[in-house]
Structure 1
Amino acid sequence: MRFLPAAAALSLLAAMTASAGYGADRAPDPRAAQLIEAGRSELAQGQVEQAVDSFEAALAIDPGYIPLYIDLADAARAQGLQGKAIRYYRDVLERDPKNFAAISGEGKAMLEKGAVEKARRNLAQLESLCGNGCSETRQLAAAIENGPPANAVMTAEAAKADPLVTQN
Structure 2
Amino acid sequence: MRFAPVAAALSLILVTTASVTSAGERVPDPRAAQLIALGQAALKNGDTQGAIDAFEAAFAVDPAYTPIFLDLAEAARQDGLQGKAIAYYREALQREPDNFAAISGEGEALVERGALDKAQRNLSRLESLCGTSCPETQALQQRIAAGPPARLAVDSGEENTVTN
**Range of TM-score over shorter length:** 0.7 to 0.9
Mapped to 2, the partners of 1:133 and 1:60 lie a distance apart of 36
1:37 aligned partner: 37
What is the one-letter code of the residue matched to 1:124?
S
Give unpaired runs (5+ residues) of structure 1: 1-14, 153-157, 163-168
1:123 aligned partner: 123
Report the identity percentage.
Answer: 56
C-alpha deviation, 1:119, in angstroms = 0.6
Please identify which structure carries the higher strand content: 2
C-alpha deviation, 1:27, in angstroms = 0.5
Tell me the TM-score normalized by structure 1.
0.78
Give unpaired runs (5+ residues) of structure 2: 1-14, 158-164
Mapped to 1, the partners of 2:69 and 2:25 lie a distance apart of 14
What is the one-letter code of the residue matched to 1:71?
D
C-alpha deviation, 1:159, in angstroms = 8.5
1:4 aligned partner: none
Q: 1:50-99, CA deviations, whole angstroms, 9 ceiling, x for partnerless residues?
A: 11110011011000001011000000001111111000000010011100
Task: Trace 1:81-92 onto structure 2 (pairs within 5 A).
Answer: 81-92=81-92
**Runs of at least 4 residues off by over 6 Å:** none
Mapped to 2, the partners of 1:86 and 1:23 lie a distance apart of 28
What is the one-letter code of the residue matched to 1:75?
A
